[in-house]
């Protein structure tokens, strides 16, 4: 409610989906409700998946492999930067 960008988004993006023969106010509220329901479902799914995913990501093997992968990516970027020529 305090973020004006959300209102501007709905005022500029949603009208293209409103057919010309319907009540604009009711259809706008319907589209907004659908979007809110989908957002709630997505965020609820993320919350439900957090616990098993958190357990998986905190295992020692996964942490070690992620550290190696991240280090390899940083090394690749640093090699690319060191071997690149300035324009």
Q: Report the alpha-carbon distance of residue 77 to residue 73 in Å, rounded.
A: 6
**Mean pLDDT to the nearest integer, 4-16:** 85
Please give the pLDDT value at position 87: 58
Average pLDDT, the chain: 90
Q: By CB neighbour count within 10 A (0-12 exposed, 13-18 middle, 19+ buried), where does 78 fall? A: exposed
pLDDT at 1 over 80: no
pTM confidence score: 0.55
Q: What is the mean pLDDT of residues 40-44?
A: 96
Question: Which H or E element spans position 57?
Answer: helix 24-57
pLDDT of residue 34: 93
Binning pLDDT at 50, 70 and 90, where does residue 32 land?
Answer: confident
């Amino acid at each position: 409610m305090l973020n004006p960008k959300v209102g501007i988004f709905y005022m500029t993006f949603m009208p293209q989906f409103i057919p010309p023969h319907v009540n604009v106010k009711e259809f706008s509220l319907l589209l907004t409700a659908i979007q809110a329901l989908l957002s709630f479902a997505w965020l609820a799914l993320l919350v439900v998946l957090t616990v098993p995913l958190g357990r998986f990501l905190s295992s020692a093997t996964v942490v070690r492999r992620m550290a190696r992968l991240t280090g390899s990516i940083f090394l690749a970027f640093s090699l690319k930067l060191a071997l690149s020529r300035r324009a």
